[in-house]
Chain A
């Protein structure tokens, strides 16, 4: 029995290390389950809907659950991101339309310090609410690995469409009427 004690311990330690490695590797990959579901015409529930995110330029916070009943366009951006600057006018134009029809754009800053984000908001004349995701957990739950990314969430809190790169002037005008038209 004692003969097998040491090899047994070494084997257990090796298995534990391999399990740790597997755990680490599995948590490093990109989560594309949201993309896959939306591509197949499904509308998965928006992740981290209960997470309350603080407003960038005012006290208080908001969450996707708090915005339930509205069409919400979540736009993940950072001040250091040039494509984010390029798409800002598109989003601001969409906000004017959304505001009239019971919806809103919700800007979420990503890996950005608040003073730079505030400067970006001023320079780009952004009027929609902007929140901060300091830990990055909200943004990561959407499978985000970069900026800009945009997610259209319907009135029931489900992801209806998403875009993993810079918006052009056509995408939101194509997507939003369908989502806004649904009860």
Chain B
């Protein structure tokens, strides 16, 4: 009796596991999200006018936008659409160029400049602070001694204000 109940429970659990493993349409769409025209437009270029497709108003941009719209309506993902665009228009269509060859400067140079700037500040700021502290600690050097004639003239000038 107990073994029968256990086997029934095992079958039920197995069925539940199978049902939960079958992807629902919602789960499938979550795994491969559909792209939208506005999303793609902001990330690809109008290749003839060299500006983002979202802003471009040239005949080529209209043709490119129609092509993207068709791919979106087919339910293709963003990655698939970008691959299709590259196949049709070359890598120039991508808003962010592939990290190869000279394009690497786009990815390497800005962070490198930030790092160089931080290192420069890290090196120079303590040095400046040390110099400023040393200057503050040093007593003012005594100026040259006044000659007798100058001292007398100053005394005379000051006497006029007494």
Which residues of A come within 8 Å of B, CB atoms? 6, 10, 13, 20, 78-82, 111-116, 134-136, 146
Contact = CB atoms under 8 A, between A and B. Distances in A.
A73 B109 CA distance: 44
Interface of B: 47-48, 59-60, 62-64, 67, 87-92, 105, 109, 116, 120, 123-124
B33 to A, nearest CB: 24
A114 B90 CA distance: 12
Nearest to A23: B102
B59 A82 contact: yes
Contact of A113 (B89, B105, B123): B89
B48 A111 contact: yes
Contacts of B47: 111, 136
A180 B92 CA distance: 37
Contact of B60 (A6, A80, A136): A80
Contact of A112 (B62, B63, B87, B124): B63
B59 A113 contact: no
Given A80-B59, A113-B67, A10 B120 contact: yes
B105 to A, nearest CB: 7
Contacts of A136: 47, 90, 92
A38 B88 CA distance: 32
B120 A80 contact: no
Nearest to B127: A6
A114 B60 contact: no
A121 to B, nearest CB: 15
Contacts of A115: 67
A78 B88 contact: no
B90 A6 contact: no
Which of B88, B89, B90, B91 has its CB near the most chain A CB atoms (within 10 A)?
A: B88
A166 B67 CA distance: 26
B67 A80 contact: no
A176 to B, nearest CB: 29
B138 to A, nearest CB: 21
A6 B120 contact: yes
Contacts of B89: 111, 113, 134
A68 B159 CA distance: 107
Contacts of A134: 87-90
Most chain B C-beta atoms within 10 Å of own C-beta, residue among A81, A112, A113:
A113
B63 A113 contact: yes
Contacts of B123: 6
14 contacts: A6-B120, A6-B123, A78-B63, A79-B63, A80-B59, A80-B63, A111-B47, A111-B48, A111-B60, A112-B88, A113-B89, A135-B91, A135-B92, A136-B90
A13 B124 contact: no
Contacts of A10: 120
